[in-house]
Amino acid sequence: MSVAAVEVVRAHGLEIAYERVGAGPPLVLVHGATVDAHIWQPQLAALADELTVVAWDEPGAGRSSDVPADFGPADYVHCLAALIDALALGPAHVAGLSWGGTVVLELYRHHLELVATLILVDTYPAGRGRCLSRRCGLGRGRAADARRAGRRIRPDASRAFAGDPPAEHVPLLKAMAADVRPQSMGTALLAMAERDQRDLLPHSAVC
């Protein structure tokens, strides 16, 4: 597992925590909702011999500052851009997992000069026409569903696993689930629900 020290940069009045390991071409890892940079521990350990790997705690998650209620998609993106700039990583390969995919697509939109390639994992181009109801069993539209989900968050790691995860990762996954901050989580979900990124698809080459 990675033994990287946690470091902090300040961006837009917030403290943004991150871990950095290795040397080589830069890879920035952007986690999904309800987790933080700890989710990337196996990747930090496995890739450090070939790449400079940076995993952030997004604003409102892990060891980073809480976010104000009016924090929006552009704010997450500008914080990520500030981190990449502060560490002189750009243009970097940027990987986004789930909600992190929404963030990195917006990074591509607003800060193309910082992106070498995008790696999109278990995500989709959020669009206002799509509703979370199919995924969450809710039916009032994506933004309304996001607000309700944020209020209802009661992290329960025992229900978050599909099958039997590797035993050595279970304590880490439980710790991340227990550390979720409902208000910040609701802000992130709402930011995701309100994005429409389908216009980016024609400009993306898939390989």
Asked if residues 12 and 20 have their Cβ atoms less than 8 Å apart, the reply is: no
CA atoms of 59 and 79, how far apart (whole Å)? 8
Give the rounded percent of residues in the chain with a pLDDT score beyond 70: 79
Strand partners, 10: 15
Residue 15 lies in a domain: yes
Averaged pLDDT score across all residues of the chain: 82
Q: Phi, psi (5° rounding) for residue 32?
A: -95, -170
CA atoms of 94 and 30, how far apart (whole Å)? 7
Most confident of 13-27, 67-81, 141-155: 13-27
Asked if residues 118 and 104 have their Cβ atoms less than 8 Å apart, the reply is: yes
Token pair belonging to 14: 């917030």
Domain tally, the chain: 1
Choose among 109, 189, 181: nearest CA to 149. Answer: 189
- The parent domain of residue 34 ranges over 6-202
Asked if residues 9 and 83 have their Cβ atoms less than 8 Å apart, the reply is: yes
pLDDT on residue 161 = 57
Tell me the whole-structure pTM to 2 decimals: 0.81
Residue 207 lies in a domain: no
* Residue entry with tokens 């196996």: 42
Residue 41 lies in a domain: yes
* pLDDT tens-digit readout, 94-132: 999 999 999 999 999 999 999 999 999 988 776 554 444
Asked if residues 161 and 124 have their Cβ atoms less than 8 Å apart, the reply is: no
CA atoms of 10 and 69, how far apart (whole Å)? 19
Residue 12: exposed, middle, or buried by beta-carbon count in 10 A (0-12, 13-18, 19+)?
middle
Average pLDDT of the residues in 158-182: 75
Residue 42 lies in a domain: yes
3-state secondary structure of 176: helix
Residue 119 lies in a domain: yes
Average pLDDT of the residues in 56-77: 93
What is the CATH number for 179?
3.40.50.1820
* pLDDT tens-digit readout, 1-47: 445 789 999 999 999 999 999 999 999 999 998 899 999 999 999 99
